[in-house]
Structure 1
Amino acid sequence: MGNIFGRKFRITTFGESHGRGLGVTIDGCPAGVPIDEEYIQTELDRRRPGQSKITTQRKEGDKVEILSGVFEGLSTGTPIGMIIMNQDQKSKDYSHIAESFRPSHADFTYHEKYGHRDYRGGGRSSARETAARVAAGAVAKKMLAHFGIDFKAWVSQVGPLKLDNHYQALDLSAIESNIVRCPDANMAEKMIELIDDTRKKRDTIGGVVSAVISGVPVGLGEPVFDRLNAELGKAMLSINAAKGFEYGSGFEGVSMYGSEHNDKFFTDENGQVKTETNYSGGIQGGISNGQDIFFRVAFKPVATIMIDQESIDIHGGAVTVSGKGRHDPCVVPRAVPIVEAMAALVIADHFMLNQSTRLDQLKA
């Protein structure tokens, strides 16, 4: 339970941080989608550990192997199976917490829910599970690219350091130009310095990933409980360490009057319906309105810190827990491709669901 995402474009992920490997099965991908293994690998390389001094130093190549559902470079319409083998597990780094609960980790809740847990790297609760999501998201991106739908995510905040510019004022082509994935070079340097200083203090810090989805057609999203904003929120909050989701004006919109906040419609020179502003974030009534979908995801400081903390063990006794092993001082640089992947999976699912909404679409 809980390992399946989507209805029409559906994925099932499996595997643990220190198991033999992780994988994903995609069910519902149409036949004829070009499946570029090199592109999938490029997306995984953006997420993989050990890529810079401000990420965990675990050395995983995260090499993807396609097992099924692809022939001669195209999807066949049958389930696509992909696997990523683990290579650099150091399970002994976790032997000290075999019977202890790390503060703010899933150790306690998994132990209470299942009565038995894989303590090596957090097992299934580890963020390493997201590698499978990124692989699946790459396939969704490839499919949606045929319809002009594009995904961009970037780091907009680390601790108190925050980009104030609207995304339209940013050069999003510069996202991959630095190791923190911030499109503003000056702010990126400050963020990198803050993360590196935090690492040297053996502590962690949080941040925000912002994202924009462009080219989304009007009509994606289902009433009442499967609104597109609700689906995106669920997807983002399913990512490890995610603590908040907002789209469009978000929480700042509460300080505006309705007369300021309403997005006025107009018809452009090509006869397309547009809005003068986009406080709605591209979604109205839970349905995409054709404008850019803009959202933000807040991530907490990573729970594993290299500082002694008081906690308890499985018997309720007091213990001192200190972090060991290799961990991210800040999760947001590696969360960027995960946010894009989950957004692509949501849009792919609703894009396919929407094709059965109207009779004229079925005829087409």
Structure 2
Amino acid sequence: MARNSFGNILRLTTYGESHGFSMGGILDGVPAGIEIDQDLIQQELDRRKPGQSSIVTQRKESDTIQIKSGIFEGKTTGMPIAFEIMNADQKSKDYSHIKNEFRPSHADFTYEKKFGHRDYRGGGRSSARETVSWVAAGAIAKQIIPFIKIKAFTFSVGKLSLDENHEYNLDQTESNIVRCPDQKLADEMIDYIKSIRKQGDTVGGQVKCIVENVPLGLGDPVFEKLHANLAKAMMSINAVKGFEYGSGFSGTEMLGSNHNDIFEKDGHTQTNYSGGIQGGISNGMPIYFKVAFKPVATLMTSQRSINNIHDTVEITGKGRHDPCVVPRAIPIVEAMTALVLADAYLSHKTTHI
């Protein structure tokens, strides 16, 4: 079905539920002859997997990928790439208490009302476990466009935030478990997330992504604008509540005379309030955007809710959940960015000589 697929020329279709047998997908449209390093795919999955630190869900999954087709002797064959990632550490009994009850602000209610039946174990397909397939596909997409550098990092957790106007060494992003390139602020974020977890509560934050070496001309006018496709990709990620690129909302406070990016002779611009995209088409400048993540809906404290016959109930979360999704969202944001850009790159190659 269309709702389980993403992309145009490079098209990902995924399957699986949080507590099902496995997760996986088919990535179609990958050109033949591209060298694929499967270790790099596994490295990306390891960045996303649960249980990797004290501030994320303690579900234990190796997230080991098995490539089923489409790669032979280390190169793509041009055929669909099928892959599978087994589920190993499901604890479905942790969710039996919500079989007939709905967690506030969770997809429980809307899924049941839309389909009339839902997999309540870990949220089924509404679980962020679904994104394991996105990261696997994104790791392949990165190898289609290795000249484009995609770097996401934790920009804020709650009210703890990096300075927008300060330059950071993004090579330091992976040096701490919260994935913030400022070590002092990272320590504060980690302590804050731990304190929120002890309270049985959750907290949100923002991820910023910077993309460099993007060729000029990716994206198309009207309904295939590059920033629109990036927005759809980011807004498809679980718990995302906002997306802004370039100057974003702060641009509304500027005058046009200050906001316009003045061209240099080489076609580059003195400023980059456009965020590397103009008219839906990349202009050769770095693309940058931010993604806002809400607090996780499942709390370890009691809240009032309703059940499937609309009686009022008290509900308390059980199981293993992220107190803050932001640290594990970094590779997901990068993966979805890579899928959008690789798709746009392949489209550009087929329509331009």
Q: 1:195 offset after TM fit, Å?
A: 0.4
Q: How far did 1:24 drift? A: 1.2
- Could you tell me how far 1:226 is from its partner in structure 2? 1.2
Superposition deviation, residue 166 in structure 1: 3.8
Give the equivalent residue in structure 2 for 1:140: 141
Task: Report the equivalent of 1:156.
Answer: 155
> Mean Cα displacement is larger for which, 219-228 or 295-304?
219-228
| Residue 274 of structure 2 is aligned to residue 280 of structure 1 | yes
Please list, as runs of the form range in 1=range in 2, the aligned pairs for 1:90-239 lying within 5 A after superposition. Answer: 90-145=91-146, 148-166=147-165, 169-239=167-237
Moved over 2 A (4+): none
Are 2:344 and 1:346 equivalent residues in the alignment? Answer: no
The match for 2:350 is 356
Q: Which residue of 1 aligns with 2:12?
A: 11
- Equivalent residue, structure 1, for 2:301: 307
Deviations for 1:111-132, whole angstroms, at most 9, x for unmatched residues? Answer: 0110000000000000000000
Q: Which amino acid aligns with 1:69?
A: G
User: Which residue in 2 is equivalent to 1:290?
Assistant: 284
1:259 aligned residue: 257
Distance of 2:6 and 2:281 partners within structure 1: 20
Q: Which aligned pairs between 1:75-86 and structure 2 lie closer than 5 A?
A: 75-86=76-87
Query: Is 1:55 aligned to residue 56 of structure 2?
Result: yes
In structure 2, C-alpha distance between the alignment counterparts of 1:222 and 1:281, rounded to whole Å: 16
Per-residue Cα deviation, 1:271-290 (whole angstroms, up to 9, x for no partner): x3200000000000111000
Q: Note the C-alpha offset of 1:165.
A: 3.8
- What is the CA deviation profile of residues 80-110 of structure 1, one whole-angstrom value per residue up to 9, with x for unaligned ones? 0010000000000000000001000000100
Q: Distance in 2 between matches of 1:281 and 1:354?
A: 20
Deviations 1:247-278 (A, max 9, x none): 000000001000000000002xxxx3200000
Aligned-partner residue type, residue 68 of structure 2? L
Please give the TM-score of this superposition, normalised by the length of structure 2. Answer: 0.99
Q: CA deviation at 1:238?
A: 0.1
Equivalenced residues, count: 352
**DSSP 3-state at the match of 1:274:** coil
Q: TM-score, normalised by structure 1?
A: 0.96
Aligned-partner Cα distance in 2 for 1:221–1:165: 27
How far is 1:225 from its partner? 1.3
